[in-house]
Amino acid sequence: MSEPDVIKLDVDPVRFGQSFVGSEAFTALFQEGMELVEETAAYLDGQGREDSRLLRREASVAYASESMRLTTRLMQIASWLLLQRAVAEGEITPDQARAEKARVRLNSTETATTLVEYEALPIRLRELIGLATRLHARILHLERLLSEVEAAPPQPQGQNPVAAQIGLLERAFAQAE
């Protein structure tokens, strides 16, 4: 089968979600998310406990609030990643995943911590919060893309413009021979 034959085939377009969750980019995102979960848990259970003991009362309350917010955000991220991986590996159907997504809320959690309180937090906690916030934003963006594609599947278009151009080239070169 030649390349023009492949282009002319009447096939459905590749869905972003289906291709993304099976891609190396998703594998890297999954790895990044799970490593951040592990790294954060290790910090909060280890050095973070020591760091929190050294804080003043106001900063200690902010530490507790921000560490809970961070943990919640990371659990949301991990749930979303595991759900996407389950679909990619065929463990659940996309319909089952959509039903489960209702339980996995990727909310943007607002913080009541002031800038002064935030700056009093240990540097490592602030780094982890920043990493989790950026990862969360990327996943929210991906979720919007996946939801848009699911909500409005692409409509079949008329003639494939690439196939039309190849056809013109074939006719032009056929006349030259």
Domain ranges of the chain: 14-156
Mean pLDDT computed over 44-57: 95
Predicted confidence (pLDDT) at residue 30 exceeds the cutoff of 90: yes
Q: Is residue 9 over pLDDT 70?
A: no
Looking at residue 106, its pLDDT comes to: 73
Rg of the chain over all Cα atoms, to the nearest angstrom: 24
CB distance 74 to 37 below 8 Å: yes
Q: What is the pLDDT of residue 151?
A: 55
Q: Is the pLDDT of residue 60 over 80?
A: yes
Asked if residue 11 has pLDDT above 80, the reply is no
Residue 1's pLDDT band, with cuts at 50, 70 and 90, is very low
How far, CA to CA in Å, does 80 sit from each of 88, 116, 117, 127, 135?
A: 12, 32, 30, 22, 12
Question: Tokens 């996995």 label which residue?
Answer: 104
91/157 Cα distance (integer angstroms) = 33
Tokens 């919640």 sit at which residue? Answer: 72
The predicted structure's pLDDT at residue 127: 97
- CATH code, residues 14-156: 1.10.8.930
What is the per-residue pLDDT across 98-143, written as a single tens digit (0 to 9) for each? 888 777 777 666 677 888 899 999 999 999 999 999 999 999 988 8
Please give the average per-residue pLDDT across 17-24, as a whole number: 74
